[in-house]
């Protein structure tokens, strides 16, 4: 597990108050919504806000690829890294 994926897992747990799960229990390729971790649309909104605040990026809800970006921890890590590069961070 790379450090950035671990950081995102911790952010997911903290943001969504998932007290009964550890970062190590979340597979980086595991689906975050419905099947897998079982998050819902409210969780997605909360997580999106936390990501924007934490990493200083803007998430456009009209982005057609948004669902894929939020599919797993690994896809979130790629998305955040890409957005930060565009901002020069």
**CATH number assigned to the domain comprising residue 68:** 1.10.1200.10
For 27, phi and psi rounded to 5 degrees? -75, 135
Which of 53, 57, 50, 67 minimizes the C-alpha distance to 89? 57
pLDDT tens per residue, range 51-62: 999 999 988 877
CB atoms within 10 A of CB 3: 8
Q: What's the whole-number average pLDDT of the chain?
A: 91
pLDDT of amino acid 1: 57
Q: State which residues form the domain around 66.
A: 3-87
Percent of the chain with pLDDT strictly greater than 90:
74
Number of domains, the chain: 1
């Amino acid at each position: 597990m790379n450090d950035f994926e671990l950081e995102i897992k911790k952010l997911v747990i903290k943001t969504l108050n998932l007290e009964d799960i550890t970062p190590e229990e979340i597979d980086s390729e595991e689906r975050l919504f419905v099947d897998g971790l079982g998050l819902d649309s409210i969780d997605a909104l909360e997580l999106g806000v936390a990501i924007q605040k934490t990493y200083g990026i803007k998430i456009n809800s009209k982005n057609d690829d948004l669902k894929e970006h939020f599919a797993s921890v690994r896809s979130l890590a790629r998305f955040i890294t890409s957005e930060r590069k565009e901002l020069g961070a």
